């Protein structure tokens, strides 16, 4: 294939196709190592006419294997598929003056948190929050209002929060592999179980408003 105009990028692709180090490529072209390094740092640069000729000659003299590798490297990149961010749905379930928590097994530690579950692609976070609450604790609940979303400061996943009301059921640990305990705790004592700086502020606002 012919290259109409050599740039820093295409010159470096030729180097890659030849499988040469900066020093070896510089020696082949009769240029300095610093020049080759500059091409790597400035892929959009266009070379001077004399350098264009040097690169043309180097490409023409290369064997067929180099030409095949260079052609493959010059192909337009395939469109990338953006992975869906991991998302969890979290239920803040109220029963009178109490809020429902689960105690999870962590890496060498136990952590109290609200019932939560992973939202699969196409899943509805609100439904997941209700379903996972029942699956983890045996509690049936209904969503009262969404509380918003954030990137969780500990896990790094996208978290969708929902304020929910208890409908029926007794709290029990339905997922002993993941959890150690399930408990209703007084809303006023919530920060004894979960550090306040880790609690999504709209949760605290909602709990205060519901008091």
pLDDT band at 78 (very low <50, low <70, confident <90, very high): low
Cut 0.85: pTM above it? no
- Is domain 87-210 given the CATH code 3.90.79.10 in the classification? yes
| Closest to 17 in 3D by CA, of 88, 57, 60, 74 | 74
Q: What percentage of residues in the chain have a pLDDT greater than 90? A: 60
pLDDT band at 77 (very low <50, low <70, confident <90, very high): low
pLDDT band at 81 (very low <50, low <70, confident <90, very high): very low
Residue 169 or residue 45, greater confidence: 169
Q: What is the mean pLDDT of residues 120-148?
A: 94
The residue extents of the domains of the chain are: 8-74, 87-210
Which pLDDT score is estimated for 184?
A: 97
Residue 204 or residue 105, greater confidence: 204
The CB-based long-range contact list for 64-73 (8 Å cut-off, 24+ gap) reads 66/14, 66/17, 66/18, 67/1, 67/17, 69/16, 69/17, 70/1, 70/13, 70/14, 70/17, 71/1, 73/13, 73/16, 73/17
pLDDT band at 175 (very low <50, low <70, confident <90, very high): confident
């Amino acid at each position: 294939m012919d290259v109409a105009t050599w740039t820093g990028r295409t010159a470096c692709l030729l180097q890659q196709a030849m499988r040469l180090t900066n020093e070896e490529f510089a020696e082949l072209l009769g240029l300095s190592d610093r020049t080759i390094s500059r091409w790597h740092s400035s892929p959009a640069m266009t070379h001077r006419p004399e350098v264009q000729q040097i690169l043309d000659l180097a490409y023409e003299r290369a064997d067929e294997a180099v030409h095949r590798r260079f052609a493959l490297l010059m192909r337009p990149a395939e469109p990338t598929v953006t992975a869906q961010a991991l998302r969890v749905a979290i239920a803040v379930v109220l029963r009178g003056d109490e809020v429902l928590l689960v105690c999870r097994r962590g890496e060498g530690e136990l952590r109290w948190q609200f019932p939560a579950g992973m939202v699969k692609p196409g899943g509805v976070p609100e439904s997941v929050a209700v379903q996972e609450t029942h699956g983890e604790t045996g509690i049936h609940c209904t969503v009262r209002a969404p509380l918003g979303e954030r990137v969780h400061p500990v896990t790094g996943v996208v978290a969708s929060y929902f304020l929910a009301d208890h409908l029926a059921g007794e709290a029990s640990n339905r997922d002993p592999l993941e959890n150690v305990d399930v408990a209703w705790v007084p809303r006023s004592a919530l920060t004894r179980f979960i550090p306040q700086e880790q609690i999504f502020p709209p949760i605290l606002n909602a709990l205060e408003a519901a008091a």
